[in-house]
Structure 1
Amino acid sequence: MISRGLDEDGYIAREGSLERVPPEFGPVVDAARERIAAAFDPARLHSAYLYGSIPRGTAVPGVSDLDLLLALRHEPTPEDRAGADAVGAALDAAFPQVDGVGVLLFDVDTLLSELERHDLGWFVACLCTPLLGEDLGALLPRYRPTSLLARETNGDLALALPRWRERLATDAESRLTMLSRAVSRRLVRTGFTLVMPRWNGWTSDLTASAEAFAVHYPGRAEQMRLAAAVARTPTTDRATLAVLIDDLAPWLAAEYTAVHGQKAPRP
């Protein structure tokens, strides 16, 4: 039995599976498997994974995007990136069910490294659903909703703020939808993981994440609910984005550091 995203032993349960993929997205997943296998031979590709709303079973046709992670046997090259981009573009063009395709590329050594044990490693083990190849999750530990996990997943929010502010000031209106989606999702995830050890569980649901945060920070509850709303329905309104980027985000970054500390620096 799973309660608040935890298994009966109190570890975070893997949140997705191929069995949960909605029927409308079955052909998309099948095509992704085929196109990845055709573009990356076994000498390059160790394994491939789905993550996000499609394997969680909450995807909405025409609204949700397709999220993929490819684990390579070597550090990704420009050719690997070009191949992944081509796969993503082909899937996006072929299937109106998805609104965009994103493909992450990492090498196996990085995903299994000690530095990434509580970030990318946790991501693969708990948030990714195996699609092709041998599951790296079998080589990773089980995870509890601890302060260490909170620190290593989202303890670097402050690093994103200068880039967000620059983009808010300079991006054309046509690009603000993309910015609002990225900012709002990041803020909701960070707000949730701030309180995750006290909530004692895991969820990727935006509304549930915002409400878990609101219990502990009622003074910032409406701003976090706004972030969750923008994550679901992106906006081009600069005033709304300014509330998130110039007010909620710096407060959240400072509070996160005070509670959990800063994420270990990456090279």
Structure 2
Amino acid sequence: MPQHPHEPRHTSHATPVHRGLDPDGHITPEGSLARVPPPFRPVLAAARERLPPTFGTRLSSAYVYGSIPRGTARVGRSDLDLLVVLHEEPTDTDRADARALDTALDREFPQIDGAGTLVLGREQVLSDLERHDLGWFVACLCTPLLGEDLAARLPRYRPDSLLARETNGDLALLLPRWRERIATVDGSEEALRPLVRYMSRHLVRTGFTLVMPRWQGWTSDLREMADAFGMYYPARAGQLREAALRGLAPRGDAAVLRTYVDDLGPWLAAEYTRVHGVKAPRP
């Protein structure tokens, strides 16, 4: 069959690796409290102690995700990522309380470079609409810290096109917001560095999930994600590898952000839509 004019050329190295899957081909949970490096255990102990009085009986579940439960966190370089699930939909007060907790933890523990707590409602996490986005996130990328583990109420997940579409099939909607944020932020290193880190990581993860169904595996390692992408899109491989490095060690560079929203981002959004379609609309 003739090659589609827009179809990426496969290299001889583009073979399935089946990393991060169980014998039946389902994505396995990537984190564990047993893998938390010793310097970060006091941070989690403090978070576990302070979450119940912060949210009271409305707290359904709490999780930690990211490099700390994966065991790859670096002292003074890695941030603390928490997810709080409430029995009810969160309010502005809940989000303000979460930010206050983040600020206190970041101030008290030099091991972490920032903290971020995502607050969601239980009904949303378990909804059909979020089954292959927030649901997958909880079941596969989050490590239980407090309360009921909602993964027991969610299905098993495979690295297929449905999962790819519902996790990262909305990049085209994000790009205008990114442009607006870049235009309004001041040009200081302090202001730009978090944007470079966030956008770099988001683009690398989007590039990886673009090829995930063909690569047939799962990883959260940014370098490995970029390498997997490069197997299928060699012409763009260098850009994603550079983005992976910036996601790990960001520098506040406005020129980098412009390349993301003017070149790599639009191309990736269009290719994602062509291959996997568009994420189901959210309210």
TM-score of the aligned structures, taking structure 1 as reference length? 0.97
Number of residue pairs the alignment of both structures matches: 265
Q: Where does structure 1 lack aligned partners over 5 or more consecutive residues? A: none
Secondary structure (helix, strand or coil) at the match of 1:59 reads coil
Do residues 85 (structure 1) and 85 (structure 2) align? Answer: no
**Residue 137 (structure 2) aligns with:** 123
For 1:173, what is the secondary structure of its paired residue?
A: coil
Tell me the C-alpha RMSD between the 2 structures.
Answer: 1.2
What's the CA shift string for 1:114-147, capped at 9, x where partnerless? Answer: 0000000000000000000010001000000000
Q: How much has 1:3 moved relative to structure 2?
A: 4.8
Corresponding residue of 2:7? none
Which one of 174, 186, 211 corresponds to residue 195 of structure 1?
211
2:3 is aligned to none
Determine the structure 2 residue equivalent to 1:74: 88
The Cα offsets for residues 15-69 of structure 1, whole Å up to 9 and x where unpaired, read as 001000000101001111001022122x200010000000000000100000000
Q: Which residue of 1 aligns with 2:236?
A: 220
* Distance in 2 (alpha carbons) for counterparts of 1:13 and 1:50: 16
Which amino acid in the other structure matches residue 264 of structure 1?
A: A
> Which residue of structure 2 lines up, in the alignment, with residue 11 of structure 1?
26
The one-letter code matched in structure 1 to 2:129 is L
Please point out which of 118, 141, 153 is paired with 2:167.
Answer: 153
Per the alignment, residue 25 of structure 1 pairs with: 40
8 Å contact kept, 2:18–2:216: no
Could you tell me how far apart the structure 2 residues matched to 1:79 and 1:172 are?
28
Alpha-carbon contact 1:16-1:128 (below 8 Å) kept: yes
TM-score (norm 2): 0.91
Q: What amino acid is aligned across from residue 33 of structure 2 in structure 1? A: L
Contact kept? 1:184, 1:230, Cα under 8 Å: yes
Identity of aligned residues (%): 66
Is the CA contact 1:146–1:196 (under 8 Å) kept in the aligned structure 2? yes
Equivalent position to 1:50, from 59, 64, 70: 64
**Residues of 1 paired with 2:110 and 2:172: CA distance?**
36
Q: Which has the higher contact order (CA 8 A, sep 6+)?
A: 2
Counterpart CA distance in 2 for 1:170 and 1:105 is: 26
Instruction: Provide the rounded CA distance (Å) in 1 between the counterparts of 2:255 and 2:84.
Output: 37
Structure 1 residue matching 2:90: 3-state secondary structure? coil
